[in-house]
Amino acid sequence: MAPFFHVCAYFSLTILSLFILPAAAVIRTLPSQLTTTVYDYVIVGGGTAGLVVANRLTENSSVSVLVLEAGLNDQGIIPIEIPFVAPTLSPNSAFDWNTTTTLQPGLVNRTVPYIRGRVLGGSSSINFLFHQYCTMDDWNRISAISGDAGWRWSNMRQYVTKHEKMVPPADNHNTTGQFVAAVHGTTGEVSVSLPGSNQSIDARVVATTRQLAEFPFNEDTGGGDQGLLGVGFIQSSAGGGIRSSSSNTYLANANGRPNLTVLVNATVTLLLQTGNSSTGAPSFRSVQYVQSHAIGNLTIGTTFTVTARKDVILSAGTVGTTQLLLLSGIGKSADLGRLRINTIIENPSVGANLSDHILVPNVFEVNGNGSVNALLRDANASAAAMTQWLQRKTGPFANSIANNYGFLRFPPNSTIFKTTPDPAAGSRSPHWEIIFSNLFFEPGFAIPATRDFLTVVTIVSSPTSRGTISLRNNDPFQPPMIDPQFMTTDFDTFAVRESIKGALRFVAAPAWSDYVVAPFGRIFADATNDTLIEAYARGAAGSAFHAVGTAAMSAVSAKTGVVNPDLTVKGADGLRIVDASVFPFVPSCHTQGPVYLLAERASDIIKAAN
């Protein structure tokens, strides 16, 4: 991505030397610092899910856990802590795996970045902080697919209060009418808050919900009991103006436990078979890893092995987990054989069913009064905001880049439903999302030198496109081939086009008459019919970075799927998966919140089994 704003110069590699604080006692940087090679549990990946499980399992002081994280220790890295600068953290950074998709036929044969965190906290340390739990329909569908009533929302809601700590916004403004306190937790691990710095468009967004009936106001957009549908204020994983990740919450709160060890810069390359269970299933209780450079690159050299007495838990994220399964001989034998990988468990579902949200950043030129574009191009303005954040943890940097969003459905009489079944999980689940950011946001492009901008992002919330993750070779140091198959189905093409038209209708409301000038860029400005809008979208769309599904959960008796409802890998012994890859479809909101709930229940399942 081109520099997001001038302050990026401040966040050079100098940050890594000046602002990384001494590591806490629980975190190790060298394999030689490990006092043993055998633990009760070995967790592969210290990301959003992995650190939740590490915390919960080590609540029992007699249980030992090792977490292997390929990336850096996030502690003291200032840019990770500042909500507003999230777009500077990826791609092309030391905190990201810096992968891209294959050429996408649906996106005029473009490749697009596929962001995933490579740092303690994983994607919770580099994402845009959006935090919801999706809809009860989503969870009830997961339950129906898996055959396990424990995944229903009626059971999963208990983990909201266990996980969430709702805190005041950074500016301590009056939040009456912006959220419903009764559906939130106040004593959990991760801080969640409403926007902590007002944007001038906030009032325009709310006014539009009164002017246009198709965009109703929703007092609380957290999902679950309250529901998602409607337009409201964003809830973010931040507290006191600082990002709240799995690392600075779940891991920090377990800091000092002698039964928890975290090794950073440790890239797992292989799951090792350690024998067979009493039923003949191959056991995978050892993993092989190598040491990584501190700046995020790999060193091919000495390999190390660690072993779990009970379970190896894969929490390497949808891409990383899938790659490790395939490299270790769990997948489709025909594909593995071509790469000279011995098949241990035949399972064609590994790497299939990749599902992700499609995103289009729609940029509008606006009259400059009140926009925050100065922060993107004016070094003095960004430096002042930085100073305010450093001194008081307030101001625009204490906030993500957007304050308002909405989740919407297409009318039931939409033409697409004459030929395509409704793909949403239920009538309470959205088809598309709209996000309002009072600045220029177009990944890969720097802000123009003049004029001011508003970006209205549209996202397909219930996509039907399904792709794959596959190996390009048997080298664990080469990224896999990521093929989401974006915009390859009739519904997704319809949804992308109609959501853009919805965005155009939204900013055509009277509330915007003195602010929005026109769509920015010739292609967008000239997109005045369905054919041209579709062509514009294919050239502008990318990923919302919510990949799921390639190690999908299914019923114990199902002939497809990768994990059982208890997250054990089908046909294997001693191996579980706890990350977004197990969702059988992409839930209808940003996936951070659902992954946290998944990991909380997974922890209870693992405790009960052992």
Instruction: List residues with catalytic annotation.
Output: 546, 590
Residues annotated in a binding site: 119, 268
Q: Can you say how many angstroms the Cα of residue 148 is from the centroid of all Cα atoms in its chain?
A: 25
Beta pairing class for 238-239 and 242-243: antiparallel
Q: Are 581 and 37 in contact (CB under 8 A)?
A: no
DSSP label at residue 249: I
Residue with tokens 């898996």: 146
Token readout for 420 is 């395509």
Nearest to 354 by CA among 311, 321, 396, 402: 321
Q: Is 386 helix (H, G, I), strand (E, B) or coil?
A: helix
In angstroms, what CA-CA distances link 579 with 46, 145, 197, 320, 552? 11, 17, 32, 10, 10
Residues annotated in a binding site for FAD: 119, 268
Which residues in 429-487 belong to E strands, given as ranges?
Answer: 432-437, 452-460, 468-470, 481-483
Q: In the chain, what is the straight-line distance between the N-terminal and C-terminal CA atoms, in Å?
A: 45
Token readout for 218 is 């929703």
In angstroms, what CA-CA distances link 17 with 294, 334, 588? 11, 47, 40
327 Ramachandran zone, left/alpha/beta (phi>0; psi -120 to 50): alpha
Pairwise CA distance, residues 159 & 162, whole Å:
5
Helix orientation angle between 48-57 and 592-609, rounded to the nearest 10 degrees? 30
* The length of the chain, given as a count of residues: 610
Q: Are 316 and 325 in contact (CB under 8 A)?
A: no
DSSP label at residue 250: I
Q: Is 473 helix (H, G, I), strand (E, B) or coil?
A: coil
Per-residue burial over 230-243, b if 16 or more Cβ lie within 10 Å, else e, is bbbbbbbbbbebbb
Pairwise CA distance, residues 157 & 174, whole Å:
27
Token readout for 298 is 């790999």
Q: Are 297 and 274 in contact (CB under 8 A)?
A: no
Pairwise CA distance, residues 418 & 237, whole Å:
40
CA atoms within 13 A on the CB side of 154: 5
Q: Are 407 and 229 in contact (CB under 8 A)?
A: yes
